[in-house]
Amino acid sequence: MIKIDHLTKRYSDTLAVDDLDFEVKPGVVTGFLGPNGSGKSTTMRIILGLDHATKGQATVNGMRYAELKDPIREVGALLDAKAVHPGRTARNHLRALAVSNQIRKSRVDEVLDFVGISAVANKKVGTYSLGMSQRLGIAGALLGDPGILLFDEPVNGLDPEGIKWIREFFRALANEGRTVFVSSHLMSEMAVSADEIIVIGRGRFITSGSVNDLTKNAEGTVLARASDHEKLSAVVASNHGVVHESNDEGLTISGLTSDQVGRLAFNAGITIFELTPQRASLEEVFMDLTAGAVEYGSQKSDPAHGQ
Amino acid sequence: MANESTLMATTKSEWLKFRTVRSSIMGVAVTVLLTIGLGVLITTLVRTHWTQLSPLRVATFDPVSSSLRGSLFAQFAVGVIGTLFITSEYTSGSIRTTLTAVPNRLRLIAGKCIVLLVTMLILGEFVCFAAFLIGQRIYLGVVPTASITNGTVLRSVILAGLYLALLALFAFALGLILRQSAAAISVFVSVLLIVPIIGLFFPQNWQNDFTRFEPSTLGVSMQSPFAPSNSFGAWSATLILLAYVLGTMAVALVLFQRRDAGSNQ
């Protein structure tokens, strides 16, 4: 269990995290979603005691991270896969971590096996590809067999096979009753790998809930193709609907359900050729939610490539 | 008890980290090479030119410190070892991994300092004793020699080794403050080489006061059986150098506790 309690972090002139307040529960995969620069990594660093909170606090299992006796036995984290001395071998890197938290030596080979880098464990980390470093980072996070796991943008640098592997891996960890907290700027990734999602933008809380809830509550649109588009537009407009687009393909209507549009058309004597409810994709919901919260957005803001 | 065992665990982990990177191994090799190699070179030159030396040089000749001169070059190698032990954590970003494993920052630095002090003390004493013994062997028969059984001579050799260990800690503290290899090594070298040059621009009477406080002058005092002119005695020099190290380390610790460690600089 991770608890974020009115957390605020200010770097000299920027407010990186602004009064965040939420909990991450065990047994599910919780996605931490926001555009780049929205404060996800900062929040994770404060959870791990690397950065100091300006106000509020973050606790794990009711304690501040720095108070934990052998912390990596309780919390495993992968923040930055390349944050390893390049001149040291993977095995020695993990052995040093194990020794510092009094973890038995044989565990090092277990996690190396598990992430599939045993064959290169005696090579210097500097020679690793990003994908291999990512796997080493995961091995480090699992080393202490912790009940809480934090991953910052874990799919970056993984090949499709690795991405599939890591999704199943998160699911398995959660099924074992662990707390799994995964950040990403990719809504599509979170849609398939997370159960619960917490959305932030510009350091502020935007919304949270299950993936289903988030798309259900989002405003969907209805695509209508009819005999008389002009008349239908007028009828829709006079019944609190909004017509977004009108062309040969049909009308894109929001504010009304497909049932309501069908009934209005029938009453007005308009023949409907096609009536399709268009449920908002999670991606669109995300774009809507974080609109204006993208720190480095281009004109055509695309959070998937918002580097 | 619990705290003792965890400081032990931290120290063991840091020892493993220290010996598994090439920079430490190279640094140790260079220290051995410079102290003993230059010791052999210097003592051999003294032996071959002994009869040509002026009576004043002969009268003031010190077989102890002359055989230990190589350590004043090795101090740079030792400084690089100390600096890189902490700055490589910042340049590689591994400080974040290190601090998630050991979030108690005081304990982390204590562990690192124990590793550095013990290894550098063993290294420093080894190279200084070796340079001294080999040097006396080279002098034998031509140049007056000193015996290690003499208390003052023994002190000089031991303090010469301690000097190297203290400089490694000083460089480590600079590294912790500056968090950047190049910057920390530059400052370290400046303190040892450039500051004495600045001293030369001072009026003569200031210069004597200034020079004897310089770390390298303190080093010469520490390895000399008799205090050189305008210098502190061996024990006073040791205490002054220790004060430098502790002062710098205190500043480094305060900054380290207050700073965020996670963000990229």
φ, ψ of residue A301 in degrees (nearest 5): -60, 125
User: Which residue positions in chain B have pLDDT lower than 50?
Assistant: 1-3, 264-265
CB distance B101 to A73 below 8 Å: no
pLDDT, tens digit, 9 for 90 and up, residues B70-85: 999 999 999 999 999 9
Q: How far apart are CA B81 and CA B101, in angstroms?
A: 23
* A267 close to B (CB below 8 A): no
Buried b or exposed e, range A7-23, using 16+ CB within 10 angstroms: bbbeeeeeebbbebebe
Indicate yes or no: CB of B2 within 8 angstroms of CB of A69. yes
Handedness of CA A253, A258, A259, A261 (dihedral sign): positive
Report the gap between the CA of B227 and the closest CA in chain A (Å): 44
Question: Is A85 near chain B, with CB under 8 Å?
Answer: yes
Nearest CB neighbour to A95, from listed B16, B89, B96: B16
Backbone angles phi, psi at A133, to 5 degrees: -60, -40
Give which of A89, A95, A99, A130 to mutate to test B binding, by max B Cβ within 10 Å: A99
| Identity of the residue in B20, B21, B101 whose CB atom sits nearest the CB atom of A101 | B101
- Paired tokens of B200: 């030369």
Cβ-contact B233, B152 below 8 angstroms: no
* Among A40, A59, A100, A124, the residue to mutate for chain B (most B Cβ within 10 A): A100
Collapsing DSSP to helix, strand or coil, A184 comes out as strand
| Cα–Cα distance for residue pair A276/A257, rounded to 1 Å | 10
Confidence at residue A81, expressed as pLDDT on a 0 to 100 scale: 87
Given its phi and psi angles, is residue A18 left (phi above 0), alpha (psi -120 to 50 degrees) or beta? Answer: beta
Residues of B in contact with A89 (CB under 8 A): 20
| Inter-chain touch B23–A87, beta carbons under 8 Å | yes
**What residues in chain B have their Cβ under 8 A from chain A's Cβ atoms?**
2, 5-6, 9-10, 12-14, 16-17, 20-23, 88-89, 92-97, 99-104, 258, 260-263
Full strand arrangement of the beta sheet holding A2-11:
A14-24, A2-11, A55-60
Task: Please report, for residues A3, A156, A179, A266, the alpha-carbon distance to residue A60 in angstroms, rounded to integers and kept in the order given.
Answer: 6, 26, 10, 58
Name chain B contacts of A96, Cβ cutoff 8 Å: 13-14, 16-17, 20
Pairing verdict, β A221-226 and A75-78 = unpaired
Q: Hey, are the CB atoms on B261 and A51 less than 8 Å from each other?
A: yes
**Gap between the Cα atoms of B19 and B13, Å rounded:** 10
Nearest CA in chain A to B3: A69
Cβ–Cβ under 8 Å, residues B127 and B36: yes
A65 touches chain B (CB under 8 A): yes
The CA–CA distances, whole Å, from B173 to B1, B87, B204, B222, B257 equal 28, 10, 32, 21, 13
* Structure-block tokens of residue A140: 């480090």
pLDDT for position A300: 44
Residue with tokens 């009094």: A102
Question: What is the model's pLDDT at position A280?
Answer: 65
- Partners of A80 on chain B (C-beta within 8 Å) are 93, 96
Q: How far is B6 from chain A (nearest CA, A)?
A: 8
A50 at B interface, C-beta within 8 A: yes
**Which candidate from B6, B104, B260 shows the least CB-CB separation from A50?**
B260
Q: Which residues contact A211 (CB under 8 A, 6 or more apart)?
A: A190, A191, A194, A195, A196, A197, A282
Kindly state whether A100 is in contact with chain B, defined as any CB-CB distance less than 8 angstroms: yes
Are A145 and A73 contacting, i.e. CB atoms less than 8 angstroms apart? yes
Write the single-letter amino acid at B230.
N
Closest CA–CA distance from residue B7 to any residue of chain A (Å) = 9
Phi-psi sector, A33: left (phi>0), alpha (psi -120 to 50), beta: beta
Distance CA B15, CA B9 (A): 10
Nearest residue, CB atoms, A65 vs list B6, B14, B103: B103
Check A72 against B99: CB less than 8 A apart. Answer: no
Q: Could you give the angle at which helices A106-115 and A90-100 cross, rounded to 10 degrees?
A: 130
Contact (CB<8Å) B13/A72 = no
pLDDT tens, residue order, chain A (307 aa): 999 999 999 988 889 999 999 999 999 999 999 888 889 999 999 999 999 999 999 999 999 999 998 999 999 999 988 889 999 999 999 999 999 999 999 999 999 999 999 999 999 999 999 889 999 999 999 999 999 999 998 888 788 888 898 999 999 999 999 999 999 888 778 888 899 999 998 899 988 988 777 766 666 788 889 988 889 988 888 888 888 877 777 888 888 888 889 999 999 999 999 988 876 666 667 777 776 655 555 544 444 443 3
Q: What is the DSSP letter of A176?
A: T
Q: Measure B178 CA to nearest chain A CA, in Å.
A: 18
In this prediction, residue A303 carries a pLDDT of 42
Please tell me the predicted confidence (pLDDT) of residue A182.
Answer: 96
Chain B hits for A100, CB-CB cut-off 8 Å, are: 9-10, 12-13, 101-102
This prediction's pTM: 0.86
